[in-house]
Structure 1
């Protein structure tokens, strides 16, 4: 299924749909494993007695609260961050409860670059910067998997969009000057 169909135009198709690199959720998963282990160990150390159940409940509540803050929120943030490249535009959506989004028409993109540190090169991640015409400034996508390929893909779809627009414009102008709706014959 395409990204959310309600966001796409009739003739628009998703070329690539990305989330941040999977390593952005690595440490929350490690923290969850450590948290469960520490919570279980702590609950096992509680000596038998009349308050044993209360102390174990306190430990369980603390583990759940820490898991929500340091595990569930980062996982949800990763899952709800969307970088979408379509045949007509680039979409960026982020947010769990409140949402932020930006759509950039391919015709407005003037430059696409990427940057990788040594570590990012090793894990095949990076930052993609999209420069646009207008006053809104650059759009920066961080922790993009395979960022160099994404940069090349963006350049490719921008060129295809420019070619598509030029063909549509040439066809429209030919119909306008000839006064019909048929295809424009080739020049001889």
Structure 2
């Protein structure tokens, strides 16, 4: 196998920007509630909540949001695209792996799709077509999709 021209994992923030930001806000909010407890609640509602229950709720929100962020991060890190002069190699999976290898000679076309946010962060969804109307390979949230298109077509 020759030297890779491109080697990248999908980016968590580029793949799921709003979900990631909301999860980070939940982590910060849960930590804030866990530390401050009843002081975080407006004074008119203070008598209705037990201090320990508020802290436990904050810890629970923090733990669940942290777990969700960790799972999402591991999911994106378990995918990888490598492009060499001869082939594209897509690896998917953490415990059980799925490998897709496509020779450069069999690639018919490449489609790059970018939303407005993806254009801002230089990411995109890449579809590789070999034969037929359905794409052989679809990868979402890869950095530098224009470079991928140029490497495959060039």
**Which of residues 7, 13, 17 is equivalent to 2:3?**
13
Relative distance call for 1:96 and 1:36 in structure 2 (3 A) is farther
User: Cα RMSD over matched residues?
Assistant: 3.0
SS at match of 1:14: coil
- Matching of residues 12-161 of structure 1 within 5 Å: 12-21=2-11, 22-24=13-15, 26=17, 27-28=19-20, 31-46=23-38, 56=55, 59-68=58-67, 70-133=68-131, 137-156=135-154
By relative contact order (CA 8 Å, sep 6+), the higher-ranking structure is 2
Relative distance call for 1:40 and 1:120 in structure 2 (3 A) is closer
Relative distance call for 1:110 and 1:78 in structure 2 (3 A) is same
Q: Which runs of 5+ in 1 are unaligned?
A: 1-8, 157-188
Structure 1 residue 133 displacement after superposition: 3.5
Q: Distance in 2 between matches of 1:155 and 1:135?
A: 18
Structure 1 residue 29 displacement after superposition: 5.4
Aligned residues: 142
Relative distance call for 1:116 and 1:46 in structure 2 (3 A) is closer
Structure 1 residue 82 displacement after superposition: 0.5
Q: Distance in 2 between matches of 1:44 and 1:86?
A: 53
Structure 1 residue 87 displacement after superposition: 2.1
SS at match of 1:130: strand
Relative distance call for 1:115 and 1:57 in structure 2 (3 A) is closer
Stretches (4+) displaced over 3 A: 51-59, 133-137
